[in-house]
Every structure is written in structure tokens, then in C-alpha cells.
Structure 1
Amino acid sequence: MYAYDTITEAVADLKKRGYTHDFNISNNRLRSDNLDTHFGHDDFEIKEVYRFEGPSDPADEAVVFAIEAPSGTLGILVDGYGAYNDDENTEFVKQLHERIVDRLKG
């Protein structure tokens, strides 16, 4: 596992390592503008996770996910959490975080 000081540093390094697609959550599905498909919360593998907490500003809190789609496509999902989290996709994000906790326990 790598250690990063900033979100920008994490994203730049992941892109250098082949995680070139930018994933977003829309309608409780994982999507990429470059792919003609979408994924449910169990339809992809979370390869790496990096959490960032702002020392004084809740807007600086985020999680960076390195993701592998079933096709082998690699990409990144950056999820802000805290006061500015998107309520529309809360269930999807909750399930992502549950997968991480289960992975850490296992």
C-alpha cells in the first residue's frame, strides 16, 4: 500500500500506475464517461483505498478508491464525505464503505 499526503498526489500516482478512468456515482451506480457501461456496488473490485481528513475543514475530507472493473479496466473514484456528501448516492457509498470494513476484517 502506498502513502500519500494529498488527494492530488494519490490520483496522479494511481493514474501513472494505470488507473486511467475517472469513475463517478450516479443513480446508485458506478459510471465512467469513457465506458459504455455501469456497475452495481458488487460488480467491481476495490484494489486500494486512501482516506484523507482535512485538519480543520470538513470539505477536505475524502476517500480515493482504486477500482478494477470486471473487464480489467482500472479507474479512480474520489468520494467526498462529511457535510458535503451527496445524499442521492448515500446508499451506494455506504455499501462501498461496508465492503472496505469487511475487507479489513478478513
Structure 2
Amino acid sequence: MKPTYHYATVLKAIEELRQKGFTEDFNLHENCLICSTGKFEAEDFEISHIYYYEGESNPDDEATVYGIESKSGTKGILVTGDEQDIDPMSQRIVDKLLVSRKRD
């Protein structure tokens, strides 16, 4: 079971993950995650922490912070806004992120 902590802000969640060793910054890129140490397909990583934030008055203020661990040991963070606005090329990765978020 994934830890389910809730922090007041996205910044606080990122700071806590950094303290836990999640040092890489992941980005979505053509149906994979990339960071300074490499490229990861959907099957190459697991999501170990999820923090979801909804805007109180504006749905555009939503954000999700993911703590991600690759099978090779790379630990990092991915922050997304509204997943519906993400490039269709990254849909496989987004699907994995959304499934993980719904399980928590």
C-alpha cells in the first residue's frame, strides 16, 4: 500500500519527497518519462507516492505530485496539472499515472 500523506501545498510535498531521496525531476516526453539519468517507459517505473491538489475555486488550479521509482533505482518527482491537457503521445504514461491515483 502506498503512503498517503497530505501536505498543505505542492511545494511542501516536493520538499518532503526530496528529503526522502526523490532527487530527479521527471518530465513527460513522447510516451515516456525522462530525467537527467535516462528515459523510462511505463513498465520501467512504479509510483510510490501520490499527492493530489484541487483548486478551491478554479479547476485549472489542480495539480498532482508523483513520487516515482524506476526499476533501476532512480527516484524522482513528476508534477502534472490537468492530465486532460497532456500531449496524446504520452497517453500510456498518463493512463498509468491516473490508474495509480484512483487506487489511493
Give TM-score, length-normalised by structure 2. Answer: 0.83
Partner of 1:45: 46
1:69–1:14 Cα change, 3 Å: same
Partner of 2:28: 25
Deviates more, 1:74-83 or 1:17-26: 74-83
Structure 1 outlier segments of 4+, above 6 Å: none
Give TM-score, length-normalised by structure 1. Answer: 0.82
What is the letter of the counterpart of residue 76 of structure 2?
A: G
RMSD, aligned α-carbons: 1.8
* Cα deviations by residue, 1:26-75 (Å, 9 ceiling, x for unpaired): 0010110x21x211112101111111000112221111110111121110
Higher relative contact order (CA 8 A, sep 6+): 2
3-state SS, counterpart of residue 13 of structure 1? helix
* Cα deviations by residue, 1:67-95 (Å, 9 ceiling, x for unpaired): 11112111001111167x22333442123
Partner of 2:8: 5
Which residues of structure 2 form unaligned runs of 5+?
A: none
Answer whether contact 2:44 2:70 (CA < 8 A) is retained: yes
Answer whether contact 2:49 2:68 (CA < 8 A) is retained: yes
Alignment match of 1:14 (pick from 13, 17, 20): 17
Q: Percent identity?
A: 40
| 1:1-106 aligned within 5 A | 1-32=4-35, 34-35=36-37, 37-81=38-82, 85-88=85-88, 89-101=90-102, 103-104=103-104
